[in-house]
Amino acid sequence: MIKIEGKRIYLREYTVEDLNDYHKLISKPTTRSLSILNTTKSMEETMLDLSEIIRQRKSPERSLYFFALILKESKTYIGDAGFDVIKKSKNSGIAEIGYFLDKIYWGKGYATEIAQMLINYCFNKLKFHKVIASCDARNIASEKVMRKCGMKKEGEFKKQRLKDGRWYDELKYAILKNEWSKECS
């Protein structure tokens, strides 16, 4: 099982015991208001989502790496973060990271710490050469996190994401491994 340690947070693999916390997080419309993801409508929908995350852990062709975010000091579950493997070769690859915190933890620097942990893991453990991230164009805080991590804007896509029946613009940022070494480590 993967566990990624940070200064104030650690990321650990999900278990079925996380279902209630995970459901509370991803079913809150206010917390998910600027997320590019939809809120879940039922516990069953959440259970299917979490089951896929857990199932992927055992797959030899694993493409989803999503983790429970835990505050070290209190052992409190505060959100969800991870990455999708977009492309992979024998010695390299590209991952798209994402992070999602319960609203009460916004504005405390956790998202930046989490993004740095994910980028570092993708470059140094998995030997990928590029990490990307996306956000709803209205999500100024998430865009700021990407910039703090040394990521550069690669595109703005009009009406790219369908969320709750409406289309929203999306921003894409990325960083290459050689840029991470220079700017962020």
pLDDT of residue 129: 96
pLDDT of residue 26: 83
Q: Which CATH architecture has domain 3-183?
A: 3-Layer(aba) Sandwich (3.40)
User: What is the number of alpha carbons within 13 Å of residue 64 lying toward its C-beta?
Assistant: 17
Residues (pLDDT < 70) of the chain are: 30-38, 181-185
Specify the DSSP element, H or E, that contains 16.
Answer: none
Which residues pair with residue 83 across a beta bridge? 65, 97
pLDDT of residue 164: 75
Q: How far is residue 159 CA from its own chain's centroid? A: 21
For the chain, the structural domain boundaries read 3-183
pLDDT of residue 91: 85
pLDDT of residue 157: 95
φ, ψ of residue 172 to 5 degrees: the values are -120, 130
